[in-house]
Structure 1
Amino acid sequence: MFLQRTVSTLARRSPARTFAIARPFSSSVARRNDKKWAPKQEGKVLPFDEIKNEDDLIAPGAKPGTVPTDISQATGLERLELIGKMQGIDIFDMRPLDASRKGTLDNPIIVTGAGDEQYAGCTGYPADSHQVNWLTVSRERPIERCNECGNVVKLNYVGPEEDPHAHDHGHGHGHPAHEEPKTFADFVKPDYWYR
């Protein structure tokens, strides 16, 4: 107890100037704020219908002396998502997949994706009958089947038709060619393949 009082007494008596910094960090940042780092145009909050290009997704920033909100500082896809949510539009369609039925090869569960690859979590039919199994569907392999319950999912690709890396075949940008990983299905007799 005596030691605690001594430490607190010394802390109160210690001079504050020993912790002073010669120049505050904020003045260093202000001196470094060149025009080349400034945005090309003043940001504004546009309605979702009026967003036409990336320049429309520049944030206005907070007024000096105020705390910025998410909408005043978010840019790019984050800003597009926030503006959409403000107007009731789910930009990334985060609804769960259809679990009211079991997907089959003739009538699969549709997974929409704009990328070359999409992941879908299967919890079985009826829902939550097994642990989550993550299925990977891609443009090259659009149909995948859960190995536990047999549920089938299929990719519905909605991205751009022409992918700049699609015809690359690993010869540009120093990337190796993509090779599909081997699975048990690769060793099944070709007559049983679903492709």
Structure 2
Amino acid sequence: MQDPFFFGYGSLVNRATHGYRDAVRARISGWRRVWRHTPLRPVAYLTAEPAPGVTLDGLIAAVPGGDWTALDQREYAYDRHAVGKVVDHGLAARIDVHVYAIPAGLAEPPDIRHPILLSYLDTVVQGYLREFGPAGAEAFFATTEGWDAPVLNDRAAPRYPRAQMLDAAERDAVDAGLKARGVRQFLPG
């Protein structure tokens, strides 16, 4: 039996945040990426929502032995959805693919009490830059909804547990993407 796969569209695109080897680029159809928060977490983060006609770039990787325990713990505020038929991955075999998404009844728009962490966004964009280049990072910004959310600038003391160090060009790409969307940042206080 072949291992199942996950489709990552946020921090899972950044290979430095996980140990799943042999990840490959993929595209999912019929889902959109959006900023949301839930009562299960104190900050906003990315989720996927069904959206006919929309496609997202990301990564897929096998979950060895179908042991979802570690990944389910990491993604504890999400439900896992089977989406294999809507994922274009370029692998020769037909595979079982799942995507994580916040349960519909628990998803709320971000607000000042539940902001986007800049350290999380930095990590996500770094992944897109490394996998898809500058055009891929720009596509991430363009295909993500909810940029009216406040962003907590925690770069000096990252709150995101898998935060990555960015080089100057990567930081500039994040800052330019936010500026282009008129996103407001505030410092922790």
Q: Do they superpose with TM above 0.5?
A: no
TM-score bucket of the superposed structures, by smaller chain = under 0.3
Higher strand share: 2
Q: Given the two structures, how large is their TM-score scaled by the length of structure 1? A: 0.20
